[in-house]
Amino acid sequence: MKSRIFRIGATLGGLLGILIALGMDYVSGDVPGRGWIGAVAHDLSLSPDSPAAIIIAFLSVGIMVLISAALGGICGLMLDRFFKIFTQE
């Protein structure tokens, strides 16, 4: 039961992480999909078309999604425990 709740929370957290990353990309980039790549290329003094900039941008977004999924799973477990307090007799 707890692993199911953790998976649901992790899925929701991961989806929110992707949505936030795409929203930040939309707000910060001139062209959709180029905001993260452009930021990485600028920070590392690379060309925005270089494979290294694209790979590092995807890794950065992937790490954010993993962290948000882990936090979502933990929040799911915390909410489960919180609501079980009220259902105990």
- How far is Cα 70 from Cα 21, in angstroms, rounded to an integer? 16
CB 72 within 8 A of CB 13: yes
> If you search the block for the tokens 């799911």, which residue do you land on?
76
Looking at residue 36, its pLDDT comes to: 84
| Sign of the dihedral through C-alpha 83, 86, 87, 89 | positive
Over residues 4-23, the mean pLDDT reads: 93
**pLDDT tens-digit readout, 43-83:** 898 988 899 999 999 999 999 999 999 999 999 999 999 99
What percentage of residues in the chain have a pLDDT greater than 90? Answer: 55
- How far is Cα 82 from Cα 9, in angstroms, rounded to an integer? 14
Looking at residue 32, its pLDDT comes to: 62
Over residues 21-44, the mean pLDDT reads: 79
pTM: 0.81
- How far is Cα 40 from Cα 46, in angstroms, rounded to an integer? 8
